Structure 1
Amino acid sequence: MSRRGLSNAEIQRRTGISQPTIRKYIAMDDFSPQAPSLQSRPSILDPYKPFVDEILLGDQRVWRKQRHSAKRIYERLLDETAYDGGYGTVKNYVRRRKAEISAASDCYMELVWAPGEAQADFGDVDVLAGGERVRMHFLVLSFPFSNMGFCQLFAGETSECVCQGLRDIFEHIGCVPTRIVFDNATGAGRRRGQSVTEADLFRRMKAHYGFEATYANPRAGNEKGNVERKVYWCRQHLFTPAPSVDDIELFNAELLSRW
């Protein structure tokens, strides 16, 4: 937020974090992981959350005036399960889950992409390594506004591959995207509804370079159509016929020079 020009006061208003804490993290240049903190205390509702979630998701298919209230869900928990906790715990969880489900259903497709915004995805390709045909993976970073794209070849799709590929591309082009939209299956992270779990290595790299990351919905290739086309283009123009790869670092340097 600070890199985008927001003042400390505006960051405090949006996040609720105190200004001394904001100043401390803005001044940091080392985002290495800290010692693990104590885990939050488990809730008595944890074993019954799938039961509650099933009710709330089922409510999405019925008339809105006949959906469950938190009170009715609490009554069903007492009648149909062994839950013996209080109503307040159920009410707080139901309120949070309803907000998450509602937000997940309010998705839209981005049709206009600003300069500096990028999309990232992996593609599969066969190459000749040591005279043998081997299935490998190539990371593509595309810029919809300019229709430019870059790719790097790897043996897998891990967070290490994502970070190395992005770093090499950043250094080649001499700049960093403001935001990158990732496929849900990449090693960067995974999205379920509005909840995103990012790989720790990628999270630290993102903090270091200062770009934002968002994640497409599962099985929603239309949300990142530009990079999907770039994956096809790379496979057809850079990897057909199957290239011989003896030194992957030299091969990747050559890939960057061909754009």
Structure 2
Amino acid sequence: MIGVDKIDDIRRLGRSGENVASIVRDTGVSEPTVRKYLRKADFSEKPPRVGKTPGSPLLAPYADLIDSWLSEDRRCWFKQRHSAKKVYDRLVEERGFEGSYSTVRRYVKCRRTELAAGLDSREAQGFLLLDWLPGECQVDFGQADFRVRGVLIRGHFLVVMFPHSNVGLAQVFWGGAAECVCQGLGDVFEFLGGVPLRAVFDSATEVGRRISAQVVTSELFRRFAAHYGLDYSFAKPCFGNEKGSVENKVGALRRNLFVLIPQFFDARGYNKSLLEACLKASDGKPHYRKGATEPELFEDDRAALSPLPASPFACVTWLTRKCDKQGGFRAGGNHPYSAGPEMASREVAVAMGAFDVAVVGLGGEVVTEYPREWGDAPTDSADPALQLRLLCARPGG
């Protein structure tokens, strides 16, 4: 591309009657270029290219592939997304790309901006208000501090929220495993005397793991859903309107019921009173949109529930563990438990529940039970009483 001064010289010589060959000799510009600028009618400055994806013949066959990588990145943690260098390396290694890194870098930079702008424009248009039928619920976890036996512990609380009435029920646990979700749901169902028509879960709950576009549910939850005849689905990532009601209720219950910090001795006993406290929090409260009170609308929810099965579901995951020479084993992470010296080098069955760990011997008898330990830090739950018989037989150690 030549400068404006050179173009002006070409145009001036053309106006003075010089032929093309003469202009080429005088300006040192090629003949096609001279003819181009002699014919050109409009020399107005063009607007700059802003936000346009730069084109490249070498890159064009791979544009859709790069777009798919960048789109998939939006589901990943921001620290684990494709850099331009990673895109270039993958194109070279997997597709034999022969273009330059700078071409890929310019494309990725502009395309990533365009994809983000497209998402922002969809969000700016707002979301449709979803209509929830009586008896449908949303389920999610929140966190709060609790003082248990004088010790401050940060725990989880499961919230089952009915969007039709805006009533939410909570249960406190020390972890977010599938056993806790099933136990909390089962306790809520038994309290209400029925099973919701449908439950919508966040994929972050332990009942399922989202792998790309597919959610894989845990075996315990599949058994739980079959037992109660519960229909369920998972909210889509980045679609907050599908579970916004329960997220708002998580914050509301935390502010209204867990400030000041609750103090209790046993979580299971506290959970029984918590269900009544959740209902009391809605007493006389008008629904934010429907012109009726939340308890009145909640009666519609309760009337729509399906009947309970004949017996409650056992919310435990069964494991088998080989004990060491002291009768110890590990379960639920880096947490050692003991079946006692009598079970040394033997295999035991272990029932992992939301609050307890039960050890079952060869004959089906319960050898011992422990409170379930949570967290990443190692713990020790050995029961000294299990070693009394061995101490009596071997008082010297």
TM-score by length of 2: 0.39
SS at match of 1:172: helix
SS at match of 1:115: coil
Counterpart of 1:246 (choices 257, 262, 265) is 265
Aligned to 2:210: 191
Aligned to 2:168: 149
- Deviation at residue 191 of structure 1 after TM alignment: 2.7
- Deviation at residue 78 of structure 1 after TM alignment: 9.2
Aligned to 1:159: 178
Counterpart of 1:228 (choices 247, 255, 271) is 247
User: Highest relative contact order (Cα 8 Å, sep 6+), 1 or 2?
Assistant: 1
* CA offset digits 1:143-180 (Å, max 9, x no partner): 00121110000001100000000000000001111111
Structure 1 distance, partners of 2:70, 2:150, is: 58
Aligned to 2:68: 57
SS at match of 1:119: strand
- Deviation at residue 209 of structure 1 after TM alignment: 1.0
**Which residue identity lines up with residue 233 of structure 2 in the other structure?**
T
- Deviation at residue 194 of structure 1 after TM alignment: 3.5
* CA offset digits 1:27-49 (Å, max 9, x no partner): xxxxxxxxxxxxxxxxxxxxxxx
1:115 counterpart = 2:115: no
Structure 1 distance, partners of 2:256, 2:237, is: 28
SS at match of 1:190: strand
1:140 counterpart = 2:151: no
Matches within 5 A, 1:1-259: 57-58=68-69, 80=96, 111-258=130-277, 259=279
Identity rate, percent: 45
**Which residue identity lines up with residue 227 of structure 2 in the other structure?**
H
After TM superposition, where is structure 1 displaced by more than 6 Å over at least 4 residues in a row? 76-79
- Deviation at residue 181 of structure 1 after TM alignment: 0.7
* CA offset digits 1:198-229 (Å, max 9, x no partner): 01101110111111211123354332111111
Aligned to 2:25: none
SS at match of 2:243: helix
Structure-2 change in CA distance of 1:136 and 1:60 (3 Å):
closer
Question: Contact (CA 8 Å) 2:130, 2:241: kept in 1 or not?
Answer: no
Structure-2 change in CA distance of 1:190 and 1:110 (3 Å):
farther
**Which residue identity lines up with residue 161 of structure 2 in the other structure?**
S
Equivalent pairs counted in the alignment come to 169
- Deviation at residue 131 of structure 1 after TM alignment: 1.1
Q: Which runs of 5+ in 1 are unaligned?
A: 1-50, 62-75, 82-107
- Deviation at residue 235 of structure 1 after TM alignment: 0.3
* CA offset digits 1:87-116 (Å, max 9, x no partner): xxxxxxxxxxxxxxxxxxxxx866111111
TM-score by length of 1: 0.58
SS at match of 1:227: helix
Structure 1 distance, partners of 2:258, 2:178, is: 23
Say what the alpha-carbon RMSD is for the aligned residues. Answer: 2.9
